[in-house]
Amino acid sequence: MNKQALVEQIKKKQSYLCVGLDTDLTKIPTHLLKEEDPVFAFNKQIIDATAEYCVAYKPNIAFYEAMGPRGWDSLQKTLEYIPKEIFTIADAKRGDIGNTSKMYAQAFFEQMDFDSITVAPYMGEDSVTPFLEFENKWVILLALTSNKGSSDFQHLRVDSEGTALFERVITTSQSWGSTEQLMYVVGATQAQKLQEIRAIAPDHFLLVPGVGAQGGSLEEVSKYGMNKDCGLLVNSSRGIIYASAKEDFAEAAGKAAQTLQQEMAVYLGEIL
């Protein structure tokens, strides 16, 4: 999907919500365990209930890999079920020597037809560029993550001017790909850094996980992170898909997604 189509969806739906499909067999309602593919049965109902409120879905690949071949099958069925106009993110956090990254890129962009993949920047340019060789496919590079451990490396000062490693990741990688194919992950729990990030990356889309279960503020993320195109995809996984553990789980997920979308419409009203 290209940037124009993504921005059009955001305008049309008045939403920059990404629903995280982190489907865990131990957390889904027990009546679904009788289904032939409980994970797909769960995801299907979640997608039906939330599609009108979101512009992206982000299955975290770990939840599917953890189930072995059955998990990959559930992932493929889920991907095929997602409406074509909705942006898809393989949250896989890959990246390796170029020769291997090329294979990861083929797996997620050709075999599975995801629109984007999250990539770790740690191995540098030649580990990232193989993912950038696919038309209308996106790399979402980890910049400043939402977890506590982000302070172990990402905030380290890398020069005498006090530049933080996450800032260097952003400035250096900008020459690897355009704003039409490169986004950055910035955790919602790091909203206080968003103004600094916008100063060095005014035009890139940011994928912002951490609203909901991790306590990030949608208001702060929107206030400091939006750009002229919106420029944000804000993810919530557990806060939406496990809004209820009972038979009404899909209805509850739809309501949780709608609540976030309605708040987003207010913030979007100020710029689009």
Ligand X SMILES: O=c1ccn([C@@H]2O[C@H](COP(=O)(O)O)[C@@H](O)[C@H]2O)c(=O)[nH]1
Residues near ligand X (CB under 6 A): 20, 22, 60, 91, 145-146, 185, 187, 209-210, 212-214, 235-239
Q: How far is the CB of 210 from ligand X (least distance, A)?
A: 5
Shortest spacing between CB 55 and ligand X, in angstroms: 16
User: DSSP characters for 138-201?
Assistant: EEEEEEE-SSTTHHHHTT-B-STT--BHHHHHHHHHTTTS-TTTEEEEE-GGGGGGHHHHHHH-
Asked if residues 67 and 37 have their Cβ atoms less than 8 Å apart, the reply is no
Residue 116 or 145 with smaller CB distance to ligand X: 145
- Burial class, 183, CB count within 10 angstroms (exposed 0-12 / middle 13-18 / buried 19+): buried
Q: Roughly what angle, to the nearest 10 degrees, separates helices 38-50 and 69-81?
A: 20
To ligand X, the closest distance from the beta carbon of 230 in angstroms equals 19
Q: Which is nearer to ligand X, 20 or 254 (CB)?
A: 20
Nearer CB in complex with ligand X: 8/21: 21
Of 11, 44, 93, 223, catalytic: 93
Min dist CB 180 to ligand X, Å, is 22
CB distance 203 to 180 below 8 Å: no
For residue 125, give both structure tokens.
């340019």
Closer CB to ligand X, 152 or 159, in the complex: 152
Q: Catalytic: 93?
A: yes
CB atoms within 10 A of CB 99: 9
Residue whose C-beta lies closest to ligand X: 145
The catalytic residue positions are: 93
